[in-house]
Amino acid sequence: MGDTATIGGASSLVREPVVDAFADLRAPRRADQARALGLYPYFKAMARHGGGTVVVDGEQYVLTGSNDYLGLTQDARVRQAARAAVDEFGMSASGSRFLTGTLELHETLEAELADFVGKESALVFSAGFLGTAAAVATLGGRHNVLYFDDQNHASMIDGARMAANRPRRFEHNDAADLERLLKEDEGLPGGRIVYTEGIFSMSGHIGAIPEVVEVARRYGARVVCDDAHATGVLGPRGEGSHAHFDLVDDVDVVAGTFSKALASVGGFLAGTADVIDYIRHTARPFIFSTALPAPNIAASLEALRIIRSEPEHREQMWSKVDFMRQNLLDLGFDLLGSDSPIVPVLVGDESTALQFWRGLWEEKVFATPALPPAVAQGRSLIRTSFNTAHRLEHLERVLEAFEKVGRALRVIS
């Protein structure tokens, strides 16, 4: 930048024209176009939240797509636990866990989580994103080779960028493709880590954990599983995907969030005591970020205890999910083979997806579309999910809306 020149006989610094770094910043043109057409589906602000329904601009909508799978964000005991923690500790931990932010509550939650997911030790992060990113950035090292499922969440992809790791991608849920890469890399130095998920956040597919674990073991690779959407949902008592497949000891590290079934915000990693202690002392997203506040910890702890002692929340969720999946399939929708509470409804191109969203909105159904690049071209979908908080009348309203809009837009015949 800058150049020296002589002006009027004096040497001075003549700078290049200043470019305003913000001058060209604007939301993607697609967003402007969608807004102009009244087809902009994002950032809808809710005035009230009742679990299964919300109020936006004075109108009540049935909310689909929430991650509150067991409806516990509204549970009176969870809210009371958070209130009590605010009264006792205030709103912020005001320091990193490393220094002045660790509460006994953090350690209690970590001990109960470790016991729940069947690992020696657990570590709580201020966001799920930070935990999963650290599981890549910190464990990945620079010398290991990392293998990602093609549908892995952005937090893992960004974790690889944080540490300049060497990421490789295998076809979604395809252990044979993973094996192809591992074989190709034979002879490369470093260890191997495979990253997968218990439930994939867009397709709703349950991870092919048994197949992935089997291949990983044969090639001496470690396995890390992001169970953000599976904690509280899969497994005999909601312990997660590793328990669902009876592979608790075969998944080396479990990553989870509190922002879904655990009714709060924050995240965790669980594994052997050595691995977790290493992360505790080296993970930058953990060390250089303020500790999770007391009300959030208390809420997650209460939600965890409820999940462990009251299986009925999970049972109710599955009965609602099964009801919706079956009815949507009967109507003729393609649900991309989802086998979880996340139920994507394939609608096709981007314009159809936006019109579909608008049609649902007019029927007072809140459901957001997933568009490219989040999904492949021509594979836009409406991402729904169903949970314990939905009542039958809510679900029927959603089905009627999907049928009406699906027929009008010829997504179903």
Contact residues toward ligand PMP (CB under 6 A) are 127-129, 132, 153, 155, 197, 201, 226, 228-229, 257, 259, 267
Identify the bridge partners of residue 196 per DSSP, sorted by sequence position: 225
Q: Which is nearer to ligand PMP, 127 or 193 (CB)?
A: 127
Q: How far apart are CA 86 and CA 82, in angstroms?
A: 6
Report the relative pairing of strands 222-226 and 192-197 from DSSP bridges.
parallel
The nearest distance, CB 206 to ligand PMP, in angstroms, is: 13
The nearest distance, CB 197 to ligand PMP, in angstroms, is: 5
Q: Which is nearer to ligand PMP, 241 or 257 (CB)?
A: 257
Is there a catalytic annotation at residue 229? yes
The nearest distance, CB 109 to ligand PMP, in angstroms, is: 15
Burial of 315 (0-12, 13-18, 19+ CB in 10 A): exposed
| Total Cβ atoms within 10 A of residue 27 | 10
Report the relative pairing of strands 166-170 and 59-63 from DSSP bridges.
unpaired
381 alpha-carbon distance from chain centroid: 17
Which residue out of 119, 153, 229, 390 is catalytically annotated?
229
Is there a catalytic annotation at residue 205? no
The nearest distance, CB 393 to ligand PMP, in angstroms, is: 28
The nearest distance, CB 280 to ligand PMP, in angstroms, is: 19
Q: How far apart are CA 310 and CA 293, in angstroms?
A: 26
Q: How far apart are CA 192 and CA 180, in angstroms?
A: 14
Q: Which is nearer to ligand PMP, 259 or 355 (CB)?
A: 259
The nearest distance, CB 255 to ligand PMP, in angstroms, is: 7
Which residue out of 260, 320, 390, 394 is catalytically annotated?
260
- Residue 388 CB contacts under 8 Å (≥ 6 apart), including other chains: 69, 70, 71, 72, 313, 316, 317, 320
The nearest distance, CB 257 to ligand PMP, in angstroms, is: 3
Identify the bridge partners of residue 345 per DSSP, sorted by sequence position: 382
Hey, is 279 helix, strand or coil? helix
4 backbone dihedrals φ, ψ, rounded to 5°: -95, 140
The nearest distance, CB 411 to ligand PMP, in angstroms, is: 25
Q: Which is nearer to ligand PMP, 171 or 349 (CB)?
A: 171
Which residue out of 126, 201, 300, 338 is catalytically annotated?
201
Q: Which is nearer to ligand PMP, 101 or 128 (CB)?
A: 128
Rg of the chain, C-alpha, whole Å: 24
Q: How far is CA 140 from CA 171, 194, 247, 366, 379, in A?
A: 20, 10, 22, 39, 32
Q: Which is nearer to ligand PMP, 295 or 406 (CB)?
A: 295
Within 51-152, strands assigned E span 53-56, 59-63, 121-125, 145-149
Q: How far apart are CA 387 and CA 368, in angstroms?
A: 16
Enclosing H/E stretch for 319 = helix 312-331
Is there a catalytic annotation at residue 183? no
Q: How far apart are CA 124 and CA 113, in angstroms?
A: 9
Of 191, 215, 198, the C-alpha closest to 152 is 198
Of 238, 231, 322, the C-alpha closest to 269 is 231
Catalytic residues: 201, 229, 260
